[in-house]
Chains A and B, each alone.
Chain A
Amino acid sequence: MAEQRTESLKLDLDKVDQIIEKYRHDKAPYIPLMQEINDEYRYLPEEALKRVSKALNISLSELYSLATFYKCFSLTPRGEHELQVCLGTACHVRGASQILEKITRNLQVEPGKTTDDGKYTVETVNCLGACALGPLVMIDDKYFGNLTPDKIDKMLGGNHEEDK
């Protein structure tokens, strides 16, 4: 899957050029520009960063330092769905760690990583700001609130129930 994406990307670096043109004359183009590339490809492809580096005359290492400092950037391809587990204080005192444990076990994936089938990237987030619903998980733009470990199988559509 990852190779497929890289392949299709090679054909479409035009998009990166368009994004570069959009921000070229800004006072501080790099972060918004990289955010847009990250939105477009769901990560920051190396080729794209090289393109930016050349076009805007900024060293690749500077772009790399931004890419690794800010959590919104990813240097590896993301899964089809973004699954964010809220670990904010309100969710924490209502049992969020159990929710995270159950999800990582079910999907067999560590936080920050993508499942082998490329379906989910699991992230922890320090607050989604919907504290009344805690513990809370967000899959793409859909919220799943008042969770208990018991509700996780259903939330994941039963596709990832561990083999017993």
Chain B
Amino acid sequence: MKKINSPAELEKLRESILESMDKDKPCISICTGTGCSASGALEVASAFEALIKERGIEANIDTKLTGCHGFCEQGPLIVLKPRNILYCRVQPEDVGEIVDKTLLKEEILERLLYVNPVTGERIALEEEVPFYNKQLRLTFGNNGQLEPTKIEDYLALGGYASLRKALEEMTPQEVLEEVKASGLRGRGGAGFPTGRKWESCFNAPGYPKYLICNADEGDPGCFQDRSILEGNPHSVIEGMIIGAYVVNSPEGYVYVRREYPLAIKNLSIAIDQAKEYGLLGENILGSNFSFDIKINRGGGAFVCGESSASIASIEGKVGEPRDKHTHATEKGLWNKPTILNNVKTWANIPLIIEKGARWFSSIGTENSKGTMIFSLTGKVNNTGLVEVPMGITLKELVYDLGGGVPDGKKLKAVQTGGPSGGCIPERLLDLPVDYEKLTEAGSMMGSGGMIVMDEDTCMVDVAKYFLLFTQDESCGCCFSCREGITRMLEIMEDVSRGESSLEQLDLLGELAQVVKDSTMCGLGQSCPNPVLSTIRYFEDEYRAHIMDKECPAGVCRDLITFTINEELCNGCGVCLKKCPAEAIQGEKKEPHAIIQEKCTSCGICLEVCKYDAVNKK
């Protein structure tokens, strides 16, 4: 690898890479993101490699091990280029047939195609699958086109052209104006306008200035930051270098969650490659501008996703937030002016510079510009990552992209914004998704988590779940958060046991307001949201628990009982063997019975019974 010393040399290198590529050559793009890898994508990849070698057809077929394509539910996924044929749930034993029939004879294997669950139709082309064709994959689309560990792939797709443009054709001030004009807002939670944040750091006195990429993606049910870092790390690096050019920062940090080893690995490789090419480090592209990026592994503390806590953690301290009378843009890391942005925010920067603020701001709604990547998870047919323009409705997300709720169940709510967000009820599904609308509905955009809940989900249980989470993760710095959440949780536990009262429910609402008003950091202030939003929209469920001692969804264990229907039970003994509490008795081939005193309502008997003989009430 030769160091690039000027913008012209970069373009020359890009040309030579493009010349060496044959666009019509068949290529197997194998998704090896975390989801597909967990379902066996690496075995599929080795099977392809071995077979191609065995047949001696390496020269005729390329393989690409890419990052996440987003359609995790159907993994392992492969896309056969140039035709873009999508095969789902591919197993190593399918590999021979794929090479022989599809690659060499252009025959399509019907059985590996995606089946539309609504129409039953089989769809061959990736772009025709509803999950993909309603998306606008600006930051995420290249994941399927490139190998994250090959910088040449990124360059071939126009990578680092925005950096070149910024350095060669624009002053830092002009880049700043472009970002401001784009209307881009932070993609990590609060949605602060990125350009204004940069401007405040730009104007702040002090040197050196620092950049931070927050990749401590802690919201449960979110994995888009991980997928960008794993699948297209150079887009984040390029965004950071452009940001560094604006405020003349010599050093940036990526604070990555330790649970993401592949993201750390791919990012490290990408940083090394960028340095070797002279795109990062001293005198970038032969200019006077120098910038370096370091990786910090997170310590496994959710609160470090909060900006000031992550700064404390990078400084080597306990990750407690600090008050924000003075913003990080003036006194941040090591008390120097600092820009901290989320992974997705950084990944948007090269796009804005390449295509312009006007183009970017033409996408989305009045105050929420561009696209957002959501993790669509929970009780939804198409679990995965979707990138959509701001302003799309929840209904489109859940039904058109998500394919609806599995097993014909009824949708109850959509939870957005993680532990800081809230549950939006089914009747508000026409809500357009943007920062303001979600906040008005008592939830928030957050980092883009979107968890679909059906009729079998108990909203009391969900609120309790998030409180357990925030109680566990509270750093303990503020009394109101530390003790307030604990008291709230105690009430929630009583509710879920049917041992509460309406007065306690009022107290719960009051406590929630106190925690909101008197806690220092954004996480503490927003952690009562799941409780407040469920009381607001699902008060009837709380009342059912309190007044009728019933859990309508059949989730809260203290309020449900399991019984065996003697007429349907044939005494097979499976439930007796599987019951972890030894609460089932009965002779072989005779109807069994549950000893209620011993039963923990875990529900395993219901799940293992093949004769529908177990009832839950």
Residues of A within 8 A of B (CB): 27-32, 35, 65-66, 69-73, 87-90, 92-94, 98, 101-102, 105, 125-134, 136, 141, 143, 145, 148-150, 162, 164
User: Which residues of chain B come closer than 8 Å to A29, judged between CB atoms?
Assistant: 316
User: Which residues of chain B come closer than 8 Å to A131, judged between CB atoms?
Assistant: 35, 72, 221, 223, 375, 377-378, 383
Q: 12 pairs across A/B with beta carbons < 8 Å?
A: A31-B299, A72-B299, A73-B299, A93-B451, A98-B602, A101-B580, A129-B217, A129-B259, A131-B35, A132-B35, A132-B73, A143-B38
Using a CB-CB cutoff of 8 Å, which residues 24-79 of chain B contact chain A? 34-35, 37-39, 72-73, 75
In the complex, B608 has a CB within 8 A of chain A: yes
- Give 12 new A-B contacts, CB below 8 A, not counting A92-B220, A133-B39: A29-B316, A66-B316, A87-B220, A92-B462, A93-B379, A128-B259, A129-B217, A129-B260, A132-B73, A134-B377, A136-B38, A143-B38
Known: A65-B318, A89-B451, A130-B223. A145 touches B377 (CB 8 A): no
The answer to whether B218 touches A126, judged by C-beta atoms less than 8 angstroms apart, is yes
The answer to whether B318 touches A145, judged by C-beta atoms less than 8 angstroms apart, is no
In the complex, B284 has a CB within 8 A of chain A: no
User: Which residues of chain B come closer than 8 Å to A30, judged between CB atoms?
Assistant: 316
Known: A129-B260, A130-B72, A132-B383. A69 touches B465 (CB 8 A): no
User: Which residues of chain B come closer than 8 Å to A73, judged between CB atoms?
Assistant: 299
Chain A residue nearest to B582 (CB atoms) is A164
User: Which residues of chain B come closer than 8 Å to A90, judged between CB atoms?
Assistant: 220-221, 377-378, 383, 451
The answer to whether A130 touches B38, judged by C-beta atoms less than 8 angstroms apart, is yes
Chain A residue nearest to B314 (CB atoms) is A28
Greatest chain B CB density within 10 A among A92, A130, A132, A148 is at A132
In the complex, B578 has a CB within 8 A of chain A: yes
Contact with A along B387-400 (1 / 0, CB 8 A): 00000000000000
In the complex, B258 has a CB within 8 A of chain A: yes
Choice from A28, A93, A132, A162 contacting B75 with Cβ under 8 Å? A132
* Nearest CB on A from B500, distance (A): 21
**Distance, CA A31 to CA B375, complexed state (A):** 30
The answer to whether B299 touches A126, judged by C-beta atoms less than 8 angstroms apart, is no
In the complex, B3 has a CB within 8 A of chain A: no
**Distance, CA A70 to CA B315, complexed state (A):** 14
The answer to whether A98 touches B603, judged by C-beta atoms less than 8 angstroms apart, is yes
Choice from B302, B314, B317, B475 contacting A126 with Cβ under 8 Å? B302
The answer to whether A98 touches B222, judged by C-beta atoms less than 8 angstroms apart, is no
**Distance, CA A62 to CA B475, complexed state (A):** 16
Choice from A89, A93, A102 contacting B449 with Cβ under 8 Å? A89
**Distance, CA A101 to CA B600, complexed state (A):** 11
**Distance, CA A149 to CA B609, complexed state (A):** 13
**Distance, CA A130 to CA B221, complexed state (A):** 8
In the complex, B410 has a CB within 8 A of chain A: no
In the complex, B332 has a CB within 8 A of chain A: no
* Nearest CB on A from B86, distance (A): 16
Choice from B301, B334, B415 contacting A69 with Cβ under 8 Å? B301
Q: How large is the interface on B (under 10, 10 to 19, 20 to 34, 35 or more residues)?
A: 35 or more
User: Which residues of chain A come closer than 8 Å to B296, judged between CB atoms?
Assistant: 31-32
Chain B residue nearest to A73 (CB atoms) is B299
The answer to whether A130 touches B35, judged by C-beta atoms less than 8 angstroms apart, is yes
Choice from B301, B449, B580 contacting A71 with Cβ under 8 Å? B301
User: Which residues of chain B come closer than 8 Å to A98, judged between CB atoms?
Assistant: 602-604
The answer to whether B318 touches A69, judged by C-beta atoms less than 8 angstroms apart, is yes
User: Which residues of chain B come closer than 8 Å to A31, judged between CB atoms?
Assistant: 296, 299, 313, 316
Choice from B220, B318, B334, B462 contacting A27 with Cβ under 8 Å? B334
Chain B residue nearest to A131 (CB atoms) is B377
Contact with A along B441-460 (1 / 0, CB 8 A): 00000000101010001000
* Nearest CB on B from A144, distance (A): 8
* Nearest CB on B from A27, distance (A): 7
In the complex, B473 has a CB within 8 A of chain A: yes
User: Which residues of chain A come closer than 8 Å to B437, judged between CB atoms?
Assistant: none
* Nearest CB on B from A31, distance (A): 5
The answer to whether B604 touches A133, judged by C-beta atoms less than 8 angstroms apart, is no
In the complex, B479 has a CB within 8 A of chain A: no
**Distance, CA A131 to CA B451, complexed state (A):** 10
**Distance, CA A142 to CA B137, complexed state (A):** 30
**Distance, CA A84 to CA B6, complexed state (A):** 48
The answer to whether B318 touches A94, judged by C-beta atoms less than 8 angstroms apart, is no
Chain A residue nearest to B38 (CB atoms) is A143
Known: A72-B258, A89-B377, A131-B221. A149 touches B602 (CB 8 A): yes
Chain A residue nearest to B223 (CB atoms) is A129
User: Which residues of chain A come closer than 8 Å to B608, judged between CB atoms?
Assistant: 150
Known: A92-B465, A129-B260, A150-B604. A71 touches B38 (CB 8 A): no
User: Which residues of chain B come closer than 8 Å to A70, judged between CB atoms?
Assistant: 299-301, 319
Choice from A101, A105, A129 contacting B222 with Cβ under 8 Å? A129
**Distance, CA A90 to CA B450, complexed state (A):** 9
* Nearest CB on B from A89, distance (A): 4
Using a CB-CB cutoff of 8 Å, which residues 176-193 of chain B contact chain A? none
User: Which residues of chain A come closer than 8 Å to B72, judged between CB atoms?
Assistant: 130-133
**Distance, CA A62 to CA B375, complexed state (A):** 38
The answer to whether A150 touches B577, judged by C-beta atoms less than 8 angstroms apart, is no
The answer to whether A133 touches B35, judged by C-beta atoms less than 8 angstroms apart, is yes
Greatest chain B CB density within 10 A among A35, A89, A130 is at A89
The answer to whether A129 touches B226, judged by C-beta atoms less than 8 angstroms apart, is yes
* Nearest CB on B from A58, distance (A): 10
Choice from B378, B418, B600 contacting A94 with Cβ under 8 Å? B378
User: Which residues of chain B come closer than 8 Å to A69, judged between CB atoms?
Assistant: 299, 301, 318-319, 475
Using a CB-CB cutoff of 8 Å, which residues 463-478 of chain B contact chain A? 465-466, 469, 472-473, 475
Choice from B298, B313, B449, B602 contacting A101 with Cβ under 8 Å? B602
In the complex, B219 has a CB within 8 A of chain A: yes
* Nearest CB on A from B616, distance (A): 13
The answer to whether A28 touches B315, judged by C-beta atoms less than 8 angstroms apart, is yes
Known: A93-B457, A132-B73. A71 touches B299 (CB 8 A): yes
Using a CB-CB cutoff of 8 Å, which residues 284-325 of chain B contact chain A? 296-302, 313-319
User: Which residues of chain A come closer than 8 Å to B465, judged between CB atoms?
Assistant: 89, 92
User: Which residues of chain B come closer than 8 Å to A132, judged between CB atoms?
Assistant: 35, 72-73, 75, 377, 383-384
* Nearest CB on B from A64, distance (A): 11
User: Which residues of chain A come closer than 8 Å to B469, judged between CB atoms?
Assistant: 126
**Distance, CA A153 to CA B415, complexed state (A):** 33
Using a CB-CB cutoff of 8 Å, which residues 262-301 of chain B contact chain A? 296-301
Chain A residue nearest to B452 (CB atoms) is A93
* Nearest CB on B from A47, distance (A): 22
The answer to whether A35 touches B383, judged by C-beta atoms less than 8 angstroms apart, is no
User: Which residues of chain A come closer than 8 Å to B222, judged between CB atoms?
Assistant: 127, 129
* Nearest CB on B from A17, distance (A): 20
Known: A93-B462, A130-B34. A102 touches B301 (CB 8 A): no
The answer to whether B220 touches A133, judged by C-beta atoms less than 8 angstroms apart, is no
In the complex, B607 has a CB within 8 A of chain A: yes
**Distance, CA A90 to CA B375, complexed state (A):** 10
Greatest chain A CB density within 10 A among B220, B317, B466 is at B220
The 4 closest A-B pairs by CB, nearest first: A70-B299, A28-B316, A71-B300, A132-B72
